[in-house]
Amino acid sequence: MGPLDIQWYFRAGWVDPKPVKAAYQLCEANLVTGVAHLKKAKTGGFMDNQQFREWSRKAADWGAEYRRTLAARPVRSQVAPGDIARHIAPSPPEQSEGMEEIFEDFERFIVPGMTHCQHPNFFAYFPANAAPVSVVAEYLVTAMAAQCMLWQTSPAATELEIATIDWLRQAFGLADGFSGSIQDSASSATLVAVLTMRERALEWRGNQKGLAGGPRVRIYASGQNHTSIDRAIWVSGIGQENLVHIPVKGDSRGMDVMALEQAIKDDIRAGYLPAGIIGCVGSTGVGASDDIVAISAISKEYNLYLHVDAAWAGSAMICPEFRHYWEGVDQADSVVVNPHKWLGAQFDCTAHFIRQPEETVKTLAIEPEYLKTHGKDNLINFSEWSVPLGRRFRALKLWFLLRAHGLEGLRAMIRNHVKWSGELCERIRQAADFEIITEPMLSLFTFRHAPAGIDDLDQHNLDLVGRINEDGRIYVTQTRIDNKTVIRFQVGQFETMRENVMGAFEVIAAFARSGN
């Protein structure tokens, strides 16, 4: 960047270009002498531009080679606790070390301690995709050290965030009354929702007065809810006892709606303050989903805030045929979806859709003098929509991703995953010594090995998962449902092909049938 570019940058007019140009020239001169000084003083370590270029290229080459050889690595890291820590120096070095050495240690000591979430045989937890195009965008963001707390601290970041959130809104088929922001995690978005429901119920007195002495704020969610909801309840000061777990029923294991309404009525009678409901579409354990139409009707009747957690399943809503899972979602006050799971945006990237951002801003905005953007009203400062002040530039990778793949490309991938997962489920159903425990919800289902003559099936399946994962060819996890330990299987990686999914059965069956 030269002085001319600087002039261009500040053409918007709130900074006079002349002093900036002078400052830039001074700065450049200082930088040159600064680097020379560093070199002369042999403090070393300061990466000059040429070295930066070379090492960035090496990193890019390494990343491409990593992806090329990914399938040959064990999916789950095979190290024992402490294996990696042993290789890390106990204290920071006093003298500069060479980049060759640092990079070599990265390959020798760090990489073996990595579990490869993008491996085509990763069937554990939920997917954590990093489409190469989003990795490239992240690299650019990192190079700029973007800081996106206010419009002013990176106008492009704010304006692209507004645009990409609206792209996602359209892609998921959400009503145009939603706006939103990009957060680091679904946990953060849910915390913001819980804080907003708390403050709305308390008529915005909680932040000032605290919760002591006030009525008991009550939040309702299904017994299948994600632990991020419990955490949000703790952090917001509402307290675990005031998170009312509603029992689930039916095949979709959604909240029993009559029980939900009864719990609200009982709480009102007891003098408590019902504040909000957290619905879930696609729970982490088995894909449990609440009837959003029914619970949104209750939220309206009792004037409660409704937050919908579709952190994993939400990505699949780019396919219209799956939208029945969250029918009624347009009635929610907020919705959270993680494009960093199934959609391929490099972690971290959480879309937090909000109906009434004024309520969230009223809950979270704080404006010390140094953050005021005088004379620039009506601008969105996204730090007022979330808990942290500093914010990464997360919209760029979404923009790159959605443009490079197109919605059709992403839909084809998700449809394949759902189809292959269904095929595998049928294959397992046919095996006499296995049983399906929960039917596929999108690409997630659970099963267990249940041959005759084994007393403790829970321990048997837990051991089986352990042996499968130590082998390293595939990676699965277990969960508990209906008092059973079961094997959980989901398909969602960009690199996964049908052979990977069907091949998983061979590995699972071989270990299951070989005994301990």
Ligand X SMILES: *Cc1c(COP(=O)(O)O)cnc(C)c1O
CB 151 to ligand X: min, Å: 25
DSSP state of 236: T
Binding flags for ligand X, 89-128, as an x/- string (CB under 6 A):
-------------------------------------x--
Instruction: Tell me: does residue 198 bind ligand X (CB under 6 A).
Output: no
CB 125 to ligand X: min, Å: 8
Measured at the CA of 102, the angle between CA 97 and CA 107, to 5 degrees, comes to 165
Burial 141-167 (b: 16+ CB within 10 A, else e): beeeebebbbbebbeebbebbbebbbb
Q: Which stretch binds ligand X (CB under 6 A): 36-44, 135-143, 308-316, 381-389?
A: 308-316
DSSP state of 216: P
Query: Is residue 352 packed enough to be buried (19+ CB in 10 Å), middle (13-18) or exposed (0-12)?
Result: buried
Question: CA dist 288 to 155, 316, 324, 330, Å?
Answer: 40, 15, 14, 19
CB 369 to ligand X: min, Å: 33
Q: Which is nearer to ligand X, 118 or 350 (CB)?
A: 350
Q: Which stretch binds ligand X (CB under 6 A): 46-54, 201-209, 306-314, 414-422?
A: 306-314
Q: Pick from 427, 440, 437: which is nearest to 501 by CA?
A: 427
CB 13 to ligand X: min, Å: 39
State which of positions 50-79 bind ligand X (CB under 6 A).
Answer: none
Instruction: Tell me: does residue 338 bind ligand X (CB under 6 A).
Output: yes
Contact 400, 133 (CB under 8 A): yes
Q: Which stretch binds ligand X (CB under 6 A): 173-181, 206-214, 307-315, 471-479?
A: 307-315
**Chosen residue from 150, 165, 311, 437 binding ligand X by CB under 6 A:** 311
Is the four-CA dihedral 510, 512, 514, 516 of positive or negative sign? positive
Instruction: Tell me: does residue 187 bind ligand X (CB under 6 A).
Output: yes
Q: Pick from 424, 281, 399: which is nearest to 343 by CA?
A: 399
Q: How far apart are CA 111 and CA 369, in angstroms?
A: 45
**Chosen residue from 242, 283, 315, 346 binding ligand X by CB under 6 A:** 283
State which of positions 207-236 bind ligand X (CB under 6 A).
Answer: 226, 228
Is the four-CA dihedral 285, 131, 467, 447 of positive or negative sign? positive
**Chosen residue from 309, 333, 359, 384 binding ligand X by CB under 6 A:** 309
**Amino acid sitting at position 481:** I
Instruction: Tell me: does residue 312 bind ligand X (CB under 6 A).
Output: yes
**Amino acid sitting at position 36:** A
CB 312 to ligand X: min, Å: 4
CB 433 to ligand X: min, Å: 30
Q: Which is nearer to ligand X, 202 or 243 (CB)?
A: 243
Q: Which is nearer to ligand X, 336 or 512 (CB)?
A: 336
Q: How far apart are CA 198 and CA 35, in angstroms?
A: 52
CB 397 to ligand X: min, Å: 15
Q: Pick from 329, 214, 227, 303: which is nearest to 337 by CA?
A: 329
Structure tokens at 359: 């309520």
Contact 381, 150 (CB under 8 A): yes
Instruction: Tell me: does residue 185 bind ligand X (CB under 6 A).
Output: yes
Q: Which stretch binds ligand X (CB under 6 A): 58-66, 146-154, 276-284, 358-366?
A: 276-284
CB 372 to ligand X: min, Å: 31
Q: Which is nearer to ligand X, 441 or 508 (CB)?
A: 441
Instruction: Tell me: does residue 490 bind ligand X (CB under 6 A).
Output: no
Q: Pick from 186, 263, 188, 187: which is nearest to 223 by CA?
A: 263
Q: Which stretch binds ligand X (CB under 6 A): 1-9, 183-191, 194-202, 390-398?
A: 183-191
Size of the site for ligand X (CB under 6 A): 14
DSSP state of 122: B
The residues, any chain, with a CB within 8 Å of residue 369's CB and separated by 6 or more, are none
Instruction: Tell me: does residue 289 bind ligand X (CB under 6 A).
Output: no
Q: How far apart are CA 228 and CA 232, in angstroms?
A: 6
For residue 211, the SS3 value is coil
CB 386 to ligand X: min, Å: 13
Binding flags for ligand X, 122-161, as an x/- string (CB under 6 A):
----x-----------------------------------
Q: Pick from 129, 128, 134, 132: which is nearest to 397 by CA?
A: 134
Q: Which is nearer to ligand X, 226 or 307 (CB)?
A: 226
Q: Which is nearer to ligand X, 169 or 307 (CB)?
A: 307
Structure tokens at 228: 């991020």
Instruction: Tell me: does residue 288 bind ligand X (CB under 6 A).
Output: no
Instruction: Tell me: does residue 424 bind ligand X (CB under 6 A).
Output: no
CB atoms closer than 10 angstroms to residue 57: 10
Q: Which stretch binds ligand X (CB under 6 A): 168-176, 203-211, 278-286, 466-474?
A: 278-286
**Chosen residue from 315, 350, 363, 446 binding ligand X by CB under 6 A:** 350
CB atoms closer than 10 angstroms to residue 41: 8
Structure tokens at 442: 């999108």
Q: Which stretch binds ligand X (CB under 6 A): 98-106, 304-312, 390-398, 408-416?
A: 304-312
The footprint of ligand X (CB under 6 A) covers 126, 185-187, 226, 228, 280, 283-284, 309, 311-312, 338, 350
